[in-house]
Structure 1
Amino acid sequence: MARREKHTSLRSRMIIALLVLTTLLLLLSGTLVHLLTEVWWFETVGFSSIFWTILIGKSLIWLGTFVLFALFLWWNLRLAIGTTPTDVEQLLLRHRSLRYRSFSFLEGRDLNTYVQSFSKYIGLVVIIFISLIAAGASVGNWETILKYLHASDFGNADPVYQQDIGFYIFQLPFYESLRNCFFALLVCALMISVPVYILKGSIYPGRSWKNLVSGQTKTHLSILLAAIVLLIAISFWLERYDLLYSQEGVVFGAGYTDVHARLLSLWIMSLGALALAALFIVSVWQNSTALPIYGIGLYLVALVIFRGVYPWFQQQFIVEPNELAKEKPYIANNIELTKQAYGLDTVQRLQYPAKTQLNQQVLQENQGTIDNIRLWDYRPLLSTYRQLQEIRLYYKFTGVDIDRYTLNGNYQQVMLSPRELSYEQVPQRARTWVNQRLKYTHGYGLGSDPVNWAHYQAIAMR
């Protein structure tokens, strides 16, 4: 009898496992089909290594972020739960005095154990949820991370910080993404820890604001807040490089006010944030929380002055009265870097003496130029293409371009227009999966004419 019950139990577990596996396969079937199709496609065009590099990179980023958030948040939750609680009975009395009647169901229980268990299980669910969201969001940074890991120098430096241009393409976006990740991590840790401390009574609004928290609770929260403020200091330090993308001046990029006012204000705010972080650490050994609170107030005042008032004053009373002289070096930087970006800094200038006399000999010497004098106007030519070569309703000429080719050994300027496919004009009965994805994928043919030909037979379809 026992053997039969054991066999039935094993069979039930196998059925449940099979149902779970089938459900997972059904839920993931669309993703698996898409993944398999992508693998085949990349292998067909010879870029399978790129596909696997991106896929493995995304997977490692997702896994690393999930583990980081889950472990750090769980450690903070355990730390908050494990600190010495205040008297929960006294906490309930305080709440009742404030007419909170929802705690009556806790009477007669081990309240500390109940609060710890409740915080642990609810916190675990919240941690998993937050970790999944963070991991999914971090996957979007796969290109930033891979570019950082395979960074290279451009060989040109910016005129303000003398950093290689590659730093702004490869390193800076990675540092900013890393900062955002850790900032979100610390804020989430704070959001998980504070409710636990409130539930345990370690943070009670009825106390004086100078003694709102104390003991191990104060140490934990002070360290988290110090780390957040430290990241704010790093943010201001990184923002210095973003001044090169400033649009506040007369030209795109760093201007006079950016270099002489905003840059200084960013240094001051970064150093001020470091000092504020130090105040949070020092407050761990103080009996009062007033020190960091005063520091926050002072820092906000400095933020308004140095990030708002000072740059405005510099722009209004120093730059604008003599704007051309102040901005001239930065306009020159903008022009020089624009030339470098478009490869115009290596252009060689050659002088060609002009000939003022036109005769038969000059025409013969420049026959190549004469043969490429454009006679056609693109508008009537486009109409001609449409009338003569839109053989089917689903063919369409959208525009005429000019290009140059070597034809029969001669360099020839031509006007050309590709014959595209208009999907809207394909008959409904022909819009099958095969036709839309394998057959009617692009246009067919190219109309082209030398620019100096004028004959009804000149149109050539290739």
Structure 2
Amino acid sequence: MRNSSDLPPNGPGGPGLRIPQFNKPSRGRILVSVVIGAVLLVLFFARGLSTFYVNVLWFDALDRGDVYWGILRSKVELAAIFSLGCFVFLWVNLLIADKIAPLTLPNTPEDQTVMRIREATAKSRGKLRIALAALIGLMLGLPAASQWQDWLMFRHREPFSVGEPLFQANVGFYVFRLPFAQFVVSWAFGALVLVTIIATAFHFINGSIRPQDRVQRVTPQAKVHLSVLLAGGTLLRAADYWLSKYELTSSTRGVVRGALYTDVNAQLPALNLMILVSLAVTALLMWNIRQRGWRLPVLGMGLWVVVALVAGTVYPAVIQRFVVQPNVSTREIPFIQRNIEATKAAMGIDNVERISTTFERVTAEDINADNAPLRDVRQLDPVQMRERFALDEGRSSFYRVTDLDVDRYSIDGRMQQVLVAARELNTDGIPNRTWVSRHLIYTHGCGVIAAPASVVTDDGRPSYIDLKVTRPEIYFGDGLSGYAVVNTSQNEQACPGVASSTYEANGGIQVNSFTRRVALAINFGEFNLFGSNLITSESEIMLVRDVRDRVKKIAPFLHFDADPYPVVINGQVKWIIDAFTTSNRYPYAETA
């Protein structure tokens, strides 16, 4: 060993060899890093807060704040309930696993490793339990918010006036209660499986589970704990089998929807058997607490798997193949009749009145005496005419025709079929694509193009008519994206034949405060929304301008038709979209 005095100058390597020096970062660098991190964090949360605030303003502007807050409240309730429930359940089980851990372990290498881990984490054990339980609770609880609609239907359930023939249960049970009940059971089973795995890992770390010990691999206390958890899992499986019985009324195994011969005579008995087997395994797990080993519960679970495979899968498949398929016409008739009756009731056509009538021969004189229906026969196909309408009436690159619809209007005192298309804004065709042009000047489409469906010109073209549109501006459309700011000090592009165009309704967010302008600028990442002097306290910003997106956001619980269509009412262009309350949970009924 050489003394330090014997070392050559500048280090052991002699002259020219330098030992690298690692300097601590200066306070200035640390301060800069902290500031940058803080700014990024603020921007991240600012974007989320601005989006939330803009959504609140948008719903309030449409007088639909109750929808937004109602849905948000339901999501928060679900996330809080399931997260807190999972947190408490996991924390209690981790606490139990720590409390029943053996105080001392044999002096083996494996056990000494366990003891070192326990000693290293002794002071932070409580914090570790809380942190792990909180993390898992959030991971499992937050996704539950997506079930808000089933939760609201469960809370506000109402009975139907009719039941179903298999279990005699009210149809309202299937529509309002069953979906959320199935989710709760499924979620609880998944959470219990994860908690059991984590608890087992804690028992291993604590030394309560010692695979290397041939005499006692699991301590009696850990055995009780894990047996109770496993018994809870088998009880939840029994509950799942019980709910699955009701799902048979929506089975798609056979020729029609609903519980058919195989479901009633094979699958249903199998599910009842599986419920009994699950309860039996639960009893075995609890009884085995006072017994040595795990042989009996393992045999019970093995039998459970075999019964599930044979009775739940193989037996119904055999019945379907060799009993039902060769005799479908006789085996399935009673169940098909149930399907027909349920479908008629679900569609509201179970009380249709039938009227028999006879037809007489129609003569030319009869036709001439009443030829109004013939005069209204459609000669123009809306699919083929869409391109023709676009070519004839597009006028400018910043207008477009996206669809052609058939409606009825009074023309010359007679109701006639009319082809109608909205002349919508084409954002891709806007000239001079500055921010002002795209969002302040070219803000709307203009009017409609219309022609009687039963009239053509000599050269086969549509005979266009005027539907007396006095306010042609169209600020919302079919597929219209982006935002527009109206009522600014910048004049909007006027529609043909109109001196000026201004927005006079209440479909936008008023930009009348400093806070709103900041929130909008952050939300869209556009400084002009804050800094432009063209925006005044009277200005409004139009968001969600696609008709379908707009109604889906306002009423997400409705099912909408895919084709909105424009109509002219009192000189204004309005959009109509058909909406329905629907459910695919009506037992035995076919779905549309």
What range is the shorter-chain TM-score in?
A: 0.7 to 0.9
Cα offset for 1:323? Answer: 1.4
After TM superposition, list the pairs within 5 Å mapping 1:213-292 onto structure 2.
Answer: 213-292=218-297
Q: What corresponds to 1:446 in structure 2? A: 448
Note the C-alpha offset of 1:430: 3.1
Aligned residue for 1:414?
Answer: 418
The match for 1:143 is 149
- Contact map agreement 2:111 2:207 (CA 8 A) in 1: no
Which range moved further: 183-192 or 230-239? 183-192
Correspondent of 1:387 among 391, 405, 408: 391
Alignment match, 1:424:
428
Q: Is the deviation greater in 31-40 or in 122-131? A: 122-131
Output one character per residue of 1:277-300: Cα deviation in whole Å (capped at 9) or x when no partner. Answer: 111111112233222111111111
1:351–1:434 distance in 2 versus 1, CA, 3 Å: farther
Matched, 1:179 2:185: yes
Query: In structure 1, what residue type is equivalent to 2:454?
Result: N
| CA-to-aligned-CA distance 1:342-388 (integer Å, 9 cap, x gap) | 33333333344323131435532x23313212233445533431222
Is the alpha carbon distance of 1:395 and 1:104 closer, same or farther for their aligned partners in structure 2, counting shifts above 3 Å?
Answer: closer
Query: Which AA in structure 2 matches 1:336?
Result: E
The total of aligned residue pairs comes to 431
Which one is further off, 391-400 or 277-286? 391-400
Cα-to-partner distance string for 1:401-442 (whole Å, 9 max, x where unaligned): 333344565332223333344443334x4363884599546x
- CA 1:136/1:402 → structure 2, altered by over 3 Å: closer, same or farther? same
SS in 2 for 1:88: coil
Structure 1 residue 60: deviation in Å?
2.3
Report if aligned partners of 2:101, 2:207 keep a CA contact under 8 Å in 1.
no
Secondary structure of 1:146 counterpart: helix
The aligned amino acid for 1:200 is N
Q: Give 2:64's match in structure 1, choosing from 39, 47, 62.
A: 47
Offset of 1:113 from its aligned partner? 4.9
Asked whether the 8 Å contact 1:77–1:120 carries over to 2, the reply is no
CA contact (8 A) 2:449 2:464 kept: yes
TM-score, normalization: structure 2? 0.66
Give yes or no for contact 2:430–2:438 (8 Å, CA) kept in 1: no
User: What SS does the corresponding residue of 2:400 show, helix, strand or coil?
Assistant: strand
CA spacing shift, 1:237–1:390, aligned 2, 3 Å: same
Gaps spanning 5+ residues in structure 1: where?
Answer: 1-17, 97-102
Query: Partner residue of 1:356?
Result: 361
In structure 1, how many angstroms separate the alpha carbons of the residues matched to 2:123 and 2:413?
A: 87
Q: 1:377 to 1:81 in 2, by over 3 A?
A: closer
Q: Which amino acid aligns with 2:450?
A: S
1:55/1:89 CA distance change after superposition, 3 Å? same
Residue 417 of structure 1 aligns to a residue whose secondary structure is strand
Shift of 1:457: 7.7
Give the letter aligned to residue 390 of structure 1. G
Compute the displacement of 1:22 (Å).
Answer: 7.5
Matched, 1:134 2:140: yes
In structure 2, what is the Cα distance between the partners aligned to 1:173 and 1:437?
Answer: 47
More off after superposition, 351-360 vs 217-226: 351-360
Identical counterparts, % of pairs: 28
* Residues 212 and 289, structure 1, Cα contact 8 Å, conserved in 2: no
* Pair 409,267 (structure 1): closer, same or farther in 2 beyond 3 Å: farther
Match of 1:367 among 362, 366, 371: 371
Q: Does the CA-based 8 Å contact 1:158-1:164 persist in structure 2?
A: yes
| Offset at residue 175 of structure 1 (A) | 0.4
Task: Give secondary structure in 2 for the equivalent of 1:460.
Answer: coil
Q: Answer yes or no: is the 8 Å Cα contact 2:97–2:222 preserved in 1.
A: yes
**Relative to structure 1, is the Cα distance of residues 184 and 48 closer, same or farther in structure 2, using a 3 angstrom cutoff?**
same
Q: 1:326 — aligned with what?
A: 331
Contact 2:427 2:438 in 1 (8 A): no
SS state of the match for residue 344, structure 1? Answer: coil
CA shift digits 1:282-336 (9 cap, x unpaired):
1112233222111111111111110122112211221112112112222223333
Q: Which amino acid aligns with 1:350?
A: I
SS in 2 for 1:234: helix
Aligned counterpart, 1:337: 342
2:446 match: secondary structure? coil
Taking only aligned residues, the RMSD between alpha carbons, in angstroms, comes to: 3.1
Q: CA 1:281/1:74 → structure 2, altered by over 3 Å: closer, same or farther? A: same
Shift of 1:35: 1.0
**What letter matches 2:70 in structure 1?**
T
Cα deviation, residue 193, structure 1: 1.4
Per mean C-alpha deviation after superposition, the further-off stretch among 47-56 and 59-68 is 59-68
The question of 1:75 aligning with 2:92 is answered yes
Partner of 2:23: none
Query: Do 2:150 and 2:179's aligned partners in 1 also have CA atoms closer than 8 Å?
Result: yes
Q: Is this contact kept in 2: 1:119–1:196, CA < 8 A? A: no
Task: Give the SS at the match of 2:423.
Answer: strand
Query: How far is the alpha carbon of 1:262 from its aligned partner?
Result: 0.8
Shift in CA distance, 63/105, structure 1 to aligned 2, threshold 3 Å: closer
In the other structure, the counterpart of 1:296 is 301
Asked if 1:376 corresponds to 2:384, the answer is no
Give the CA deviation at 1:232. 0.7
Q: Does the C-alpha gap of structure 1 residues 319 and 176 become closer, same or farther in structure 2, counting only changes over 3 Å?
A: same
Contact 1:81 1:120 in 2 (8 A): no
Q: Which amino acid aligns with 1:180?
A: S
- Pairwise CA distance, 1:74: 1.1
Alpha-carbon offset, residue 86 of structure 1: 5.7
Task: Summarize the Cα distance change of 1:24–1:170 in structure 2 as closer, same or farther, 3 Å threshold.
Answer: farther
Q: 1:88 touches 1:200 (CA, 8 Å); kept in 2?
A: no
SS in 1 for 2:420: strand
Farther off after superposition, 443-452 or 114-123: 114-123
Residues 436 and 267 of structure 1: is their aligned pair in 2 closer, same or farther, counting only changes over 3 Å?
farther
- In the aligned structure 1, how far is the partner of 2:163 from the partner of 2:435? 55
Q: Is the 8 A contact 2:114 2:205 kept in 1?
A: no
- TM-score, scaled to structure 1: 0.83
Unaligned runs of 5+ in 2: 1-34, 468-592
> SS of the residue aligned with 1:392?
coil
Query: Do residues 307 (structure 1) and 312 (structure 2) align?
Result: yes
Separation in structure 2 between the aligned mates of residue 265 and residue 438 of structure 1, nearest angstrom: 68
**Which letter maps to 1:445?**
G
Q: Give, in whole Å, the separation in 2 of the partners of 1:133 and 1:431.
A: 44
Does the 8 A contact of 1:86 with 1:200 survive in 2? no
SS of 2:332 mapped into structure 1? helix
Relative to structure 1, is the Cα distance of residues 180 and 291 closer, same or farther in structure 2, using a 3 angstrom cutoff? same
Aligned CA distance change for structure 1 residues 81 and 457 (closer, same or farther; 3 Å): closer
Query: How far 1:78 moved relative to its partner?
Result: 0.8
Distance 2:165 2:364 in 1: 53
More helix by share: 1
**How far, CA to CA, are the matches of 2:274 and 2:446 in structure 1?**
62
Distance in 2 separating the partners of 1:433 and 1:263: 67
Q: Which amino acid aligns with 2:456?
A: A
Sort the Cα spacing of 1:104 and 1:286 in 2 relative to 1 into closer, same or farther, 3 A. closer
Larger displacement relative to structure 2 (410-419 or 256-265):
410-419
